[in-house]
Structure 1
Amino acid sequence: MPTYLSPGVYVEEVASGSAPIAGVGTSTAGFIGRIPDSIDIPEPNPNYDPSQPTDETTNPTYITTPFAPVKAGEVKLCTNFSEFKKFFGNFSFNSYHRYLVHAVYGFFNNGGTRCYVVRVAERHHITAEFLEETFGAIDEIAMVAVPGIANVNINNAIITHCQNTQDRFAILDSPRDWDDDTWKTMQPGDENLPGRSDYAAFYFPWIKAFDPAYKINNPNTDAVFNVPPSGHLAGIYARVDQQRGVHKAPANETIRGALGLQYNITKAQQDGLNPQGINCIRNLNGNIRVWGARTLGGDANGEFKYINIRRLFNYLRESIDQGTQWTVFEPNNPELWSKITRNVNAFLTNVWSTGALFGNTPEEAFYVKCDEETNPPEVRDLGQVVTEIGVAVTKPAEFVIFRISQWSGSQ
């Protein structure tokens, strides 16, 4: 306490006791791609002479130049597609590099603004340990995808990473080429699918997109190429988060840049996939739309069968975690309990006002309890302060039903 030795007026700054909890970001993606040490990328030929006969051997419009991406394991932040090209190269002829380029391009094209990208030289390098080493310390990442690599072991490693961090979500691609008998009966745990998890979403089928490199190599074709949808989906997640909020299911959204689908799925076929948490992408009235919003496993995941519910809880947990770090080593007394209650109440009231929580009033939507009941002497002796929080979340209207009957109006 200050010491006062002479008469006078003393003005002091006193902490208000209010430490507002700010919501964390939910729109940053982490991409892993398999890229060789050198890539051949088609570039405009600076020596091309349009006045000369067009002979691709003596006067080519384009030439291929080697490009060396950043070293394997080095993570780069990209805030636009031009930054990505500087580190990892433009559209190319290499298959796995092509998948990553399309994914990142689709991410930004569909509304994404920030992503971290890391390359591996070989597919088997993608493990849970590798993900922890590269992405573990980057709290900003909220989504993880490995575009075009639908290996079960790799997908399980991504899921394990997301479950361990508890603040990020896996977006998984289906295998590229499946026969009808395989995809029509697939379910989590099959040979081609990872086990069920409410920290992951699985999308089928691949989408068709224009490929500039393919057009250069095959000028007489439409250059439409099958690409994995995970990057585009990550962009849609970001777009919906920004426009509506993380509580809105990232479904019934048009995929920008999608020109078609590898497989066209009917409603009857989706009836067998949706309960398993296989999210279908469908062509509806000429629009390529995301027509599923379930976590991998669907009905078996219980209260976390919807993507937006899991991601909302990730958001709440991470926001409260980061926003209450100031409480560590504070005196564990009723004053601290009231500060925690007040700050968490204020944060959840803001969340409720966005429509994320169900209830006509904040009191109906959530409760926060931090008092002598949750913190008896034996808990305080352990150095713990316990706060109990309950929230009522809004669930998506997945099945919209109208009951129509004839009505004989009276005169």
Structure 2
Amino acid sequence: MPSYLSPGIYVEETDSGAHPIEAVGTQTAGFVGTAPNPDARPGEAVAINNWSQFTRVFARDGDPSTDLANAVQGFFLNGGSRCYVANVPANGSIAPKKGGLDALNAIDEIAIIAAPGRTDVASQTALLDAAEAMKDRVAILDAPPTADDVEALTRAGAASGDAAPGDAPPPKPPKGQAAGLRPRDSDGGYGAFYFPWLRVRDAIDPDKIVSAPPSGHMAGIYARTDAERGVHKAPANVVVRGALGLTQLVSRAEQDVLNPAGVNCIRFFTREGVRVWGARTLAPASSNWRYLNVRRLFVMIEESIAISTRWVVFEPNDRPLWKAIQRDVGAFLTLLWSQGALAGSRPEEAFFVKCDEETNPPEVIDAGQVVVVIGIAPVKPAEFVIFRIGQTPTGATVEAG
């Protein structure tokens, strides 16, 4: 206790014991591909904060544009502010221990990964494997620029493009069936698949109109939506900035086939322009992870809690610690609920946090563990808005349901 030797008012600062949980960033992207200068910083994850910096690092005078360059420019055009770029040789493997993905895996800041223009099975599988292993990011995958038979986009199989040197050849489709163009399922919903490509002004030579993979533009839209609305908002029904058109127009009837299979369509609407018209993951249709914003919200929550509760390690494993964990996690989830990220009219309906004698019996404590059980009710997107229109003698009525 401090000593007070003369009359007066004394102010003491005391630690409340609270450890506020801060939400981790969700807007940083990681791109792996071939830069205009294929020899610039090979295989290294280089932080890029604007388009001018990309051209200074990865492009020389006279270098032709690449899918990676168009994607990075699309990222910044659509609201992205920071990304990492790993430059790998043309047609080289992007897989860890072979190319640039291992460099991106080492960057905790990255929340979105893509290999712009890589539609081969090996590249798509490597992206999904990396996202599923890291569990702190999602992968954006590009479909081929066009598809004569859109139903092929609903079947997993040998995508367009050959396997990179040293990689196993893509699997053959079942006998009597055309090769599929869709990546494999991601049971945890760690990947999203977009079709078709965009028509844009070339990143290096703006006088040319070229086809660009959508992954870079979509990563920018993720970042923009996160900044404006929050990670719980589905990155869909948003204008694609810089898109002058599409490599293939998708009809409503075709999207009726594609959407249930987890193929996110980019559509052209006469009045609204080019818009993203899907927000599904590559999880099976019956999965809890079929919506992209739900998966990304959970990634953010899990990583935020994991990082901000490191103070718990080596603390006495007893009731005061359990109450402190419940308090800190509960305060964080209450904030998310107030921001509209969780469903329910009250916090009690949106989440629960349980850390007590039941979750931490003696055998768990003896094993040096503290167990917290957290339940969350995420907000899911209004994917289907149905209006019921009825005619009565007194006039028309409209009900939304």
Would you call these one fold, judging by a TM-score over 0.5?
yes
Structure 2 residue 172 is the aligned partner of structure 1 residue 205 = no
Alignment check: 8 A CA contact 1:278 1:294 kept: yes
Matches within 5 A, 1:26-41: 26-35=26-35
The alignment's TM-score, normalised by the length of structure 2, stands at: 0.86
Counterpart pick for 2:327 among 302, 317, 342: 342
Task: Show the counterpart of 1:123.
Answer: 91
Structure 2 residue 254 is the aligned partner of structure 1 residue 285 = no
Alignment check: 8 A CA contact 2:262 2:280 kept: yes
Structure 2 residue 339 is the aligned partner of structure 1 residue 354 = yes
In the alignment, the residues of structure 2 paired with residue 92 and residue 176 of structure 1 have an alpha-carbon distance, to the nearest angstrom, of 26
Deviates further, 191-200 or 234-243: 191-200
Task: Show the counterpart of 2:18.
Answer: 18
- Bigger Rg over Cα: 1
Matches within 5 A, 1:2-401: 14-35=14-35, 69-89=39-59, 94=64, 97-129=65-97, 130=99, 133-178=102-147, 180-181=148-149, 183-192=150-159, 193-197=182-186, 198-211=189-202, 213-214=204-205, 223-286=208-271, 287-300=273-286, 302-401=287-386
After superposition, what is the alpha-carbon deviation per residue over 1:323-351, rounded to whole angstroms, capped at 9, x for unaligned? 10110011101010011000000000111
Instruction: State the Cα distance separating 1:210 from its structure 2 match.
Output: 1.2
Which structure 2 segments of 5+ residues have no match?
160-181, 396-401
Instruction: State the Cα distance separating 1:201 from its structure 2 match.
Output: 0.3
Q: Would the alpha carbon gap of residues 134 and 148 (structure 1) be closer, same or farther in structure 2, given more than 3 Å must change?
A: same
Alignment check: 8 A CA contact 1:73 1:119 kept: yes
The aligned length equals 366
Q: Would the alpha carbon gap of residues 145 and 132 (structure 1) be closer, same or farther in structure 2, given more than 3 Å must change?
A: closer
Q: Would the alpha carbon gap of residues 376 and 285 (structure 1) be closer, same or farther in structure 2, given more than 3 Å must change?
A: same
Task: Show the counterpart of 2:178.
Answer: none
Instruction: State the Cα distance separating 1:388 from its structure 2 match.
Output: 0.5
Alignment check: 8 A CA contact 1:91 1:212 kept: no
In the alignment, the residues of structure 2 paired with residue 101 and residue 125 of structure 1 have an alpha-carbon distance, to the nearest angstrom, of 18
After superposition, what is the alpha-carbon deviation per residue over 1:90-131, rounded to whole angstroms, capped at 9, x for unaligned? 79664xx52111111110110000101110124333113445
In the alignment, the residues of structure 2 paired with residue 268 and residue 298 of structure 1 have an alpha-carbon distance, to the nearest angstrom, of 21
Alignment check: 8 A CA contact 1:91 1:101 kept: no
- The residue type paired with residue 368 of structure 2 is G
In the alignment, the residues of structure 1 paired with residue 386 and residue 200 of structure 2 have an alpha-carbon distance, to the nearest angstrom, of 34
SS in 2 for 1:405: strand
The alignment's TM-score, normalised by the length of structure 1, stands at: 0.84
In the alignment, the residues of structure 1 paired with residue 58 and residue 37 of structure 2 have an alpha-carbon distance, to the nearest angstrom, of 10
In the alignment, the residues of structure 2 paired with residue 133 and residue 375 of structure 1 have an alpha-carbon distance, to the nearest angstrom, of 37
Alignment check: 8 A CA contact 2:266 2:276 kept: yes
After superposition, what is the alpha-carbon deviation per residue over 1:16-72, rounded to whole angstroms, capped at 9, x for unaligned? 21000000000000001124755xxxxxxxxxxxxxxxxxxxxxxxxxxxxxx5231
Q: Would the alpha carbon gap of residues 133 and 265 (structure 1) be closer, same or farther in structure 2, given more than 3 Å must change?
A: closer
SS in 2 for 1:299: coil
Alignment check: 8 A CA contact 2:145 2:195 kept: no
Alignment check: 8 A CA contact 2:317 2:370 kept: yes
Q: Would the alpha carbon gap of residues 291 and 92 (structure 1) be closer, same or farther in structure 2, given more than 3 Å must change?
A: farther
SS in 2 for 1:313: helix
Alignment check: 8 A CA contact 1:131 1:158 kept: no
Alignment check: 8 A CA contact 2:37 2:59 kept: no
**Identical aligned pairs, as a percentage?**
50
- The residue type paired with residue 81 of structure 1 is W
In the alignment, the residues of structure 1 paired with residue 123 and residue 61 of structure 2 have an alpha-carbon distance, to the nearest angstrom, of 24
In the alignment, the residues of structure 2 paired with residue 354 and residue 133 of structure 1 have an alpha-carbon distance, to the nearest angstrom, of 35
Instruction: State the Cα distance separating 1:374 from its structure 2 match.
Output: 0.5
Q: Would the alpha carbon gap of residues 401 and 312 (structure 1) be closer, same or farther in structure 2, given more than 3 Å must change?
A: same
Alignment check: 8 A CA contact 2:35 2:66 kept: no
Q: CA RMSD in A?
A: 2.2
- The residue type paired with residue 403 of structure 1 is R
Instruction: State the Cα distance separating 1:14 from its structure 2 match.
Output: 4.5
SS in 1 for 2:268: strand
In the alignment, the residues of structure 2 paired with residue 212 and residue 340 of structure 1 have an alpha-carbon distance, to the nearest angstrom, of 49
